[in-house]
């Protein structure tokens, strides 16, 4: 695949993403404006006079007609200004950037656990469906998709922090702090990964090209790991991409349980503080990151599956 | 309608019944799914009868007995307010399962309708709906639910609506895809050529073909919405205490984890079991309805 | 006396399904001689494809080889270990499949997939075997072989893909080549080219072939001997000319009449439909559709017996069994 067509593809996806992003912004904008309660009054406090509240309204621009507010909002967004936190008084973007690395850290470690354990389990359960390892994998994938992770987190804390006194129960700081949160989140992710790996491998193994590979006299190991797996990789990468949603949602809950100082915890806290600029900013940020990550997944997809490259090439010709 | 048509209609109805019976038989061969279905039935009955079968009043508190560990009198122990946890878990089934059911109902019906419209009418209607769906899909489900709750406020109704809305995009996508498939089938084209009204076509021809996958998806979603709704409860953004929603119970009880884990263990266990059963039943439905799946039988000695 | 390279004795392959046991291959015996082409004819579902897969032990659950022997060069293939049968697959006995669209792996290049045969049997990495692969591509008349080696299956036409499958089959110069409907997925003009190619390869390399198809016309072109299967059984077997010009079994006659129908005014049909292999008809399996059946046919099963030196039929008309 040429560099040219690859960058064209990325560009095209980014352009397509713009209406979606605008939609997200619009939704957030409408939602916050629709909320019951007067932000100006909330900021001013209970004892403020009508005058004060009015002044705050002016500062916040709440007096202007809605479409003007929207345009203001969009223009400040484009400048990278997500507003100012009501609670902290600092720019929202600053708070987000301070906590974002923690969430990323947690996400990466959790995903790594999930993939390193989940994919082999999925392969085993596909290749040997009626043996012990097969059943174990099926059970793990089931539990992973049915488990309330915050409960799992609490159980793990009880087991490892209280009972065994092995690992810290909350906060961040040392490498040991990340273990329990990452494992908790990984269990959630593993559920899907094991299941999809298994399904993808089974489907791949039932394909006709596997019969050809066997008829050539190739060893079963090569048949499974080279032929079946490479084809199964396609849906597996897809699911890892789709999982980004669960990853984010799971991160929010996990950070809450373990007091892990990431973006998810900040979001929950900001809801309790009624810090609307912060809430809005974080949600927008999450959604945008999600969209960008999906584009990256699509690019990886194109790199793995030559047929996708072909249709991209054809689309490029038409462009 | 003449006699022959009546006979044909009778035969079709009989065929439909036969097919349902066959699907049920296929479902039954999946032991895990069958067992889960029974467990779910029991849980639903408990949820319906809840107020009448709790051993104690789920709201009655007695601070002298706070955090009592499980005993014969209170098999699940007592919470931080001295309330009997078993009773609260029983009543909680109403809220947890109820909210999940409501969410799926809301999300499913709205999603189904819009998916049908989007898929059938196409063109600009489809375009608009798809753009909105894209925007909604770019939020992870929990995040969307949290966003909605932060706007609508907390409480049972708002949770049901928020979680319900977060399920809509997937329903729309699913339905639309199926509609597009069915739309190009010959019998649908034939119906349009004859001049049947759109509503009739959608209802009689397209809907029956769309129903099965939607049911399978809804079953899976019941499991997922229970997790999300109770997640909101845990975060304090869902059903509010003292209402004994399972997630909310875990949220209020977590402070006492170190000393009295039983406060947290039992509600969570029930969430796990319920979600597990929904997933297994969902798998069972999917396999039973998928014509390609061949069910293996034990080997016969020749 | 010609040498037998493959002898199948009383082979039984059953599929254990929810609805019942499908007796796909039910007591089949035949031989293949060195250097000959044995054509195997029959309708879809008669078991010929299962037979082909069974020889290389490619049958997967719920299918299972439940009985019989497959003797190749003195060894019973059914008694070999996994490792041993793997040495035979692709090397001594090779198979060419019917649908080039699904039998090639879409994520590997065609050159790589052919090169894998060398990897499996001659410890040669597929990338190093490129030259050999190009030679084989030339032999199968694939245009511009050097470029095609790097092409992915979806970049090739149907005929080209089939040539790739053929390349995989002949790469290790096997003694026996099994072809399972190699032209059924191709359109007629390509079919003719592939048939020519196959005949040429068979002549040049002197390999034995089992050519499986429902199209008797193709068998008339390429076979030395023909075997006709019906409902999991062999119903007739003999030299090509004898079978084509003087068929004995009513089923063979019916198959041939539809092949030679241009002589008649209308396309003849065989009454009825293929039988269930779970509950085959009692007695002779063909009797419900046979135009000349007798009372005995619905009760007693005929056995495959020798009429002549090389001629076998399984029909009550030609012998008396009790």
In tens, the pLDDT along B54-75 reads 888 888 888 888 888 888 888 8
Closest B-chain CA to C65: B302
Distance (Å, rounded) from C-alpha C168 to C-alpha C115?
Answer: 8
What would the two tokens of residue A97 be? 């950037």
The share of chain B scoring above pLDDT 70, in percent, equals 95
Q: C238 is written with which tokens?
A: 């003999």
- The mean pLDDT value for C214-219 works out to 84
Residue A92 contacts residue A277 (beta carbons within 8 Å): yes
- Asked if C104's CB is within 8 angstroms of A215's CB, the reply is no
Q: Which domain holds residue A165?
A: 92-273
Q: How confident is the model at residue B277 (pLDDT cuts 50, 70, 90)?
A: very high
Comparing CB atoms, the residue among B132, B138, B142 nearest residue A252 is B142
Distance from CA of B127 to the nearest CA of A (A): 12
Tokens of B253: 């009880």
What pLDDT, on the 0 to 100 scale, is given for residue B45?
92
**Residue C94 banded pLDDT, cuts 50, 70, 90:** very high
> Residue B301 has what pLDDT?
38
CA neighbours within 13 Å on the CB side: how many for C201? 26
pLDDT value of position B271: 94
Higher-pLDDT residue of C316, B281? B281
Mean pLDDT of chain B: 84
Q: Which of C91, C108, C113 is nearest residue A217 as measured by Cβ atoms?
A: C91
- Give B249's pLDDT tier (boundaries 50, 70, 90): very high
Tell me which residue in A207, A217, A227 faces C87 most closely, judged by beta carbons: A217
Tell me the average pLDDT of chain C. Answer: 85
Tens of pLDDT along C181-197? 888 888 888 888 889 99
- The verdict on a CB contact (< 8 Å) between C62 and B300 is no
C-alpha B264 chain-centroid distance: 24
Look at residue A314 and tell me if it is in a domain. no
Domain ranges for chain C, please list them. 4-83+178-186+205-313, 93-173
* Rounded CA separation C261/C264 (Å): 5
Note whether B302 contacts C: Cβ–Cβ < 8 A.
Answer: yes
Residue C56 or residue A33, greater confidence: C56
For residue A1, name the pLDDT band (cuts at 50, 70, 90): very low
Give A37 or A31, the one with higher predicted confidence: A31
Confidence check: pLDDT of A86 > 60: yes
Residues of chain B found within 8 Å of residue A147, distances taken between Cβ atoms: 227, 272, 275
Q: Give the other-Cβ count within 10 Å of C132's Cβ.
A: 16
B279 near A CB under 8 A: yes
CA distance A122 to A131: 13
CATH superfamily membership of B3-299: MetI-like (1.10.3720.10)
Residue A21: is its pLDDT beyond 70? yes
Give A150's contacts in chain B (Cβ within 8 Å): 231, 234, 247, 250
* pLDDT tens figures, B144-184: 888 888 777 788 888 999 999 999 988 998 888 888 877 77
Residue A164 belongs to some domain of the structure: yes
Q: What's the mean per-residue pLDDT of chain A?
A: 77
Q: Kindly state the average pLDDT of the residues B207-231.
A: 88
Domain count, chain A: 1
Name the minimum distance, in Å, from the CA of B182 to any CA of chain A.
Answer: 25
Domain of A126: which CATH number? 1.10.3720.10
User: Is a pLDDT exceeding 60 seen at residue B298?
Assistant: no
Is A14 within the bounds of a domain?
A: no
**Model confidence at A8: pLDDT above 90:** no
Domain residue spans in chain B?
Answer: 3-299
pLDDT higher than threshold 50 for residue C172: yes
B267 confidence band (pLDDT: 50, 70, 90): very high
B145-149, C26-30, C197-201: least confidently modelled range: B145-149
Instruction: Choose among A132, B30, B294: nearest CA to C60.
Output: B294
Q: Is residue A313 part of a domain?
A: no
pLDDT at position C93, please? Answer: 92
Looking at residue B137, its pLDDT comes to 78
Closest CA to A178 of A102, A280, A277, A79: A102
Whether A44 maps to a domain, the answer reads no
pLDDT digits (tens, 9 = 90+) for A131-171: 666 677 778 878 888 889 999 999 988 888 777 777 777 77
pLDDT at residue B234, rounded to an integer: 92
Residue A14 to chain B, least CA–CA distance (Å): 14
Give the per-residue pLDDT at B163: 93
Q: How near does any CA of chain B get to the CA of C288, in Å? A: 25
ipTM of the prediction: 0.82
3-state secondary structure C237-262: EEEHHHHHHCCCCHHHHHHHHHHCHH
Task: Please report the number of interchain residue pairs, chain B to chain C, with beta-carbon separation below 8 angstroms.
Answer: 20
The single residue listed with the structure tokens 């001013």 is A44
Q: What is the predicted pLDDT for the residue at B299?
A: 40
Note whether C62 contacts B: Cβ–Cβ < 8 A.
Answer: yes
Average pLDDT over residues C32-59: 88
**Cα-based distances in Å from B59 to A16, B98, B255, C152:** 53, 19, 20, 68
User: What pLDDT score was predicted for residue A13?
Assistant: 73
Question: What is d(CA A74, CA A86) in angstroms, rounded to the nearest whole number?
Answer: 20
Q: What pLDDT score does B28 carry?
A: 83
What DSSP state is assigned to residue C305?
E
Q: What is the pTM of this model?
A: 0.72
Per the CB < 8 Å rule, is A151 touching B148? no
pLDDT of A136 reads 74
Over 70: is that where the pLDDT of A38 sits? no
Q: What superfamily does domain C4-83+178-186+205-313 belong to in CATH? A: P-loop containing nucleotide triphosphate hydrolases (3.40.50.300)
Residue A55, both tokens:
């002044």
CB nearest to B295's CB, from C18, C61, C66? C18
Range C112-124 average pLDDT: 87
B110 touches chain A (CB under 8 A): no
Residue C180 parent element (H or E): strand C176-180
> What tokens does B101 get?
């059911």
Which range of B23-37, B192-206, B226-240, B276-290 scores highest in mean pLDDT? It is B226-240
Please give the pLDDT value at position B110: 92
Contact A14, A295 (CB under 8 A): yes
Report the pLDDT averaged over residues A96-115: 90
C98, C103, C117, C126: best mutation site toward chain A, by most A Cβ within 10 Å? C103
Radius of gyration of chain C (CA): 20
Give mean pLDDT, residues B207-227. Answer: 87
| Contact residues for A59 (Cβ-Cβ < 8 A; gap 6+) | none
A287 assigned to some structural domain: no
Q: Cα–Cα–Cα angle for C264, C266, C271, nearest 5°?
A: 110
**Hey, is A26 helix, strand or coil?**
helix
Which pLDDT value is given to residue B297? 45
Bridge partner list, A216: none
* pLDDT at B175 (0 to 100): 86
pLDDT in the model for residue B233: 92
Q: Is the pLDDT of residue A304 over 90?
A: no
Q: What are phi and psi of A146, to 5 degrees?
A: -115, 0
Token output for A105: 């850290």
Cβ under 8 Å to A: B residues 208-267: 223, 227-228, 230-231, 234-237, 247, 250, 254, 257-258, 261, 264-265, 267
């Amino acid at each position: 695949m040429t560099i040219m067509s690859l960058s064209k593809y990325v560009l095209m996806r980014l352009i397509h993403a713009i209406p979606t992003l605008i939609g997200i912004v619009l939704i957030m904008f409408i939602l916050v404006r629709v909320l019951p309660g007067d932000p100006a009054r909330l900021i001013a406090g209970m004892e403020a006079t009508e005058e004060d509240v009015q002044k705050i309204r002016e500062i916040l621009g709440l007096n202007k007609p809605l479409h003007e507010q929207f345009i203001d909002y969009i223009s400040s967004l484009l400048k990278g200004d997500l507003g100012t936190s009501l609670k902290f008084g600092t720019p929202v973007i600053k708070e987000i950037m301070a906590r974002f690395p923690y969430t990323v850290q947690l996400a990466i470690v959790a995903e790594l656990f999930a993939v390193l354990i989940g994919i082999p389990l999925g392969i085993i359960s596909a290749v040997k469906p009626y043996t012990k390892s097969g059943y174990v994998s099926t059970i793990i994938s089931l539990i992973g998709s049915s488990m309330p992770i915050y409960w799992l987190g609490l159980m793990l804390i009880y087991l490892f922090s209280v009972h065994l006194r092995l690992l810290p129960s909350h906060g961040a700081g040392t490498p040991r702090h990340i273990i329990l949160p990452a494992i908790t989140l990984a269990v959630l992710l593993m559920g899907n990964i094991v299941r999809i790996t298994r399904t993808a491998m089974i489907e791949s193994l039932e394909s006709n090209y596997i019969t050809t590979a066997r008829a050539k006299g190739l060893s079963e190991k090569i048949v499974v790991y080279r032929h079946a797996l490479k084809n199964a990789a396609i849906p597996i990468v897809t699911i890892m991409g789709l999982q980004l949603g669960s990853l984010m949602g799971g991160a929010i809950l996990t950070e809450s349980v373990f007091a892990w100082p990431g973006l998810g915890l900040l979001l929950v806290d900001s809801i309790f503080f009624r810090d609307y600029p912060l809430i809005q900013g974080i949600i927008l940020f999450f959604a945008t990151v999600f969209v960008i990550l999906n584009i990256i997944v699509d690019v990886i997809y194109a790199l793995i599956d030559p047929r996708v490259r072909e249709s991209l090439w054809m689309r490029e010709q038409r462009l | 309608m003449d006699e022959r048509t009546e006979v044909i209609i009778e035969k079709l109805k009989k065929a439909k019944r036969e097919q349902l019976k066959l699907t049920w038989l296929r479902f039954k061969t999946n032991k895990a799914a069958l067992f889960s279905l029974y467990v779910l039935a029991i849980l639903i009955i408990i949820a319906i009868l809840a107020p009448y079968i709790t051993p104690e009043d789920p709201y009655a508190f007695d601070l002298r007995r706070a955090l009592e560990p499980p005993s014969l009198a209170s098999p699940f122990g007592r919470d931080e307010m001295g309330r009997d946890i078993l009773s609260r878990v029983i009543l909680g089934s109403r809220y947890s399962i109820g909210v999940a059911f409501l969410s799926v109902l809301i999300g499913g019906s709205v999603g189904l309708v819009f998916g049908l419209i989007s898929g059938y009418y196409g063109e600009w209607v489809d375009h608009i709906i798809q753009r909105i769906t894209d925007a909604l899909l770019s939020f992870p489900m929990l995040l969307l639910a949290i966003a909605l709750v932060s706007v609508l406020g907390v409480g049972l109704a708002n949770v049901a609506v928020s979680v319900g809305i977060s399920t809509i995009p997937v329903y729309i996508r699913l339905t639309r895809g199926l509609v597009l498939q069915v739309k190009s089938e010959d019998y649908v084209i034939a119906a349009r050529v004859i001049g049947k009204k759109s509503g009739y076509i959608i209802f009689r021809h397209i809907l029956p073909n769309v129903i099965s996958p939607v049911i399978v998806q809804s079953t899976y979603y019941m499991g997922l919405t229970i997790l999300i709704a109770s997640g909101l409860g845990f975060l304090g953004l869902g059903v509010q205490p003292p209402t004994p929603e399972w997630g909310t119970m875990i949220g209020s009880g977590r402070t006492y984890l170190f000393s009295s884990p039983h406060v947290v263990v039992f509600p969570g266990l029930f969430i796990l079991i319920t979600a597990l059963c929904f997933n297994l039943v969902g798998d069972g439905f999917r396999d039973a309805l998928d014509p390609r799946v061949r069910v293996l039988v034990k080997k016969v000695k020749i | 006396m010609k040498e037998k390279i493959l002898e199948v004795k009383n082979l039984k392959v059953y599929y254990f399904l929810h609805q019942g046991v499908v007796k796909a291959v039910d007591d089949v015996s035949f031989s293949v001689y060195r250097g000959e082409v044995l054509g195997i004819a029959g309708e879809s579902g008669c078991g010929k494809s299962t037979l082909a897969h069974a020889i290389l032990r490619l049958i997967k659950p719920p299918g299972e080889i439940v009985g019989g022997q497959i003797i190749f060069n003195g060894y019973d293939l059914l008694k070999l270990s996994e490792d041993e049968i793997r040495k035979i697959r692709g090397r001594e006995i090779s198979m060419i499949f019917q649908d080039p669209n699904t039998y090639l792996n879409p994520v590997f290049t065609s050159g790589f997939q052919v090169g894998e045969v060398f990897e499996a049997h001659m410890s040669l990495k597929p990338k190093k075997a490129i030259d050999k692969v190009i030679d084989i591509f030339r032999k199968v008349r694939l245009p511009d072989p050097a470029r095609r080696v790097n092409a992915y299956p979806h970049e090739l036409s149907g005929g080209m893909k089939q040539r790739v499958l053929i390349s995989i089959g002949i790469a290790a110069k096997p003694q026996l080549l099994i072809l399972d409907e190699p032209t059924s997925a191709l359109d007629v003009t390509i079919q003719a080219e592939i048939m020519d190619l196959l005949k040429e390869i068979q002549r040049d390399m002197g390999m034995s072939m089992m050519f499986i198809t429902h199209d008797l016309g193709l068998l008339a072109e390429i076979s030395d001997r023909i075997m006709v299967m019906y409902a999991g059984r062999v119903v007739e077997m003999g030299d090509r000319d004898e079978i084509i010009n003087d068929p004995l079994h009513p089923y063979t006659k019916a198959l041939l009449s539809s092949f030679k129908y241009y002589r008649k005014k209308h396309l003849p049909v065989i009454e009825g439909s293929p039988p269930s292999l779970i509950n085959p008809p009692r007695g002779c399996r063909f009797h419900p559709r046979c135009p000349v059946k007798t009372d005995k046919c619905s009760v007693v099963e005929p056995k495959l017996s020798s009429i002549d030196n090389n001629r076998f039929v399984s029909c009550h008309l030609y012998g008396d069994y009790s």
